Structure 1
Amino acid sequence: MRRKFPWVLWHIWKARNSFVFEKTRQSLDSLVELAQDETDEWFIANGPVHKINDLSQRIDPQYHKWRQPTLPFIKCNIGCSWAIANKNCGVAWIARDHRGNTVLHGRRSYSKVNSQLEAELLSLLWATENMSSLRFSHVIFEVSSRMIVDIFGSVNFFRGDDTLVQNIQANLEQFAA
């Protein structure tokens, strides 16, 4: 009943207007039934999507367990979330030491982000900029995005003219290998 409450109110309001302006009546049972049908349709249409469209986005299970970095490194885990509807994304990073203790963390949002790939690249760019400005020189960057791993993790490194990728590459060169 709680889920369909807005639809019940809406149909009561519509029935009231029909009675006032058209002199027609609707039964309470039909109002509740209409509200239930529309509630079900709305939750089906707007429910969570569990389908993974691109198999390359699946992450290999062996990478799911976090591992501590060795001294003198810190590990910077990076994540992002992109909303296609409003083209906004939120990005975050957390830096941990060799004991797994949080050293620092950061988060921010971006607007007018056109794709999931752009969101992932912005998250990595922002994390590398932060680690550099905080004067960390021994950093392991860890992402869960298969797209980013494919771009930066291969021997045949992406050599395109993408400014984001070039800026990230320049930032990464500042850190010890």
Structure 2
Amino acid sequence: MDYLFWRLKAEDLELDQVRCYPWILWMVWKARNDKIFNGLNRPPEEILNKVSCECKAWLEATQKSDHPESNAVILVDDRNSATTGEALVIKCRTGAAWKENEDTCGLGWCLFDTSNHHIHLGLKGTRKCLSAIHAELLDLIWTMQCLIDIKAMCYTFETDCKELLSITDLPQDWPIYEAELADYASLKGKLPHFNLSYVSRASNTHADFLACSARIRGCSFSYVNAIVPL
């Protein structure tokens, strides 16, 4: 970290070379998790190629979303037509990480544009809740509140938890979550359009990774930003 944030700046390197370092750390961390949790070995060449693609895509996405005529981050509707801003958001994916023998659970979400590049994200560590399903519900509520706060009006949400769809479709069958479902209904009422659908876990790696990263920190915190945390 000392080299990355201080000594690196003193070296005669191009700006594009310096920009890629946080992405290298991020991709190495992801490759490490793939090896530990999925038994996958990523070749160094593959990691570096991924770094180059992700860094370039991130820069393009953030440049496109810089609209001088609006304070909103992005504003879209569920028909995928942007009404302010140039980058088009089509979905926000959520994920939670909960373990019975741990005191902290993790929440995560990731906002994507039409090119499937993430342009905003959030992760949160919070005290242990009732169950994994409860954590997924809390994550959805927190995600909706975050997007409203940053004026990123994405109306399409995706989750890899099928039970969450059941809870939100039939709230009367889940009286144990009455308070949380009231919050959910209140936030949903603030959105002109809203759609929650299922996505496979294999397609939800970004949000799940953020949630797991939050859980293993073992403390309460909240991070919402366009920049990937180290």
Using the size of structure 2 for normalisation, the TM-score is 0.43
Structure 1 runs, 4 residues or longer, greater than 3 Å off: none
Contact 1:87–1:114 under 8 Å retained in 2: no
Counterpart pick for 1:158 among 171, 193, 197:
171
2:108 match = 92
2:142 match = 126
Letter in 2 for 1:76: C
1:98 CA displacement? 2.0
What per-residue deviation string (whole Å, max 9, x for no partner) do you get for residues 75-96 of structure 1? Answer: 1100011011024211100001
Contact 1:82–1:90 under 8 Å retained in 2: yes
Letter in 2 for 1:91: L
The answer to which of 88-97 and 157-166 deviates more is 157-166
Counterpart pick for 2:97 among 58, 77, 81:
81
Taking the aligned partners of 2:161 and 2:190, their CA distance within structure 1 comes to 22
2:132 match = 116
Contact 1:120–1:145 under 8 Å retained in 2: yes
1:70 CA displacement? 2.6
Question: Counterparts of 1:17-56 in structure 2 under 5 Å?
Answer: none
1:137 CA displacement? 2.6
2:200 match = none
What per-residue deviation string (whole Å, max 9, x for no partner) do you get for residues 5-24 of structure 1? Answer: xxxxxxxxxxxxxxxxxxxx
Percent identity over the alignment is 20
Residues 1:70 and 2:83 aligned together: no
1:10 match = none
Contact 1:71–1:98 under 8 Å retained in 2: no
Q: Which runs of 5+ in 2 are unaligned?
A: 1-36, 38-78, 83-88, 194-230
1:102 CA displacement? 1.4
Residues 1:171 and 2:190 aligned together: no
* SS at 2:171 equivalent: coil
Q: Over alpha carbons, which structure has the higher Rg? A: 1
Letter in 1 for 2:146: N
Taking the aligned partners of 1:98 and 1:174, their CA distance within structure 2 comes to 24
1:99 CA displacement? 2.3
What per-residue deviation string (whole Å, max 9, x for no partner) do you get for residues 105-157 of structure 1? Answer: 010111131211211111111101101101123421111111111122x3xx3
Using the size of structure 1 for normalisation, the TM-score is 0.54
2:164 match = 148
Aligned length, in residue pairs: 107
Contact 1:137–1:176 under 8 Å retained in 2: no
Letter in 1 for 2:157: F
Taking the aligned partners of 2:186 and 2:160, their CA distance within structure 1 comes to 21
Taking the aligned partners of 1:138 and 1:81, their CA distance within structure 2 comes to 23
Q: Could you say which structure has the greater relative contact order, defined with CA pairs below 8 angstroms and 6 or more residues apart?
A: 2
1:71 CA displacement? 2.8
Root-mean-square deviation (Å): 2.1
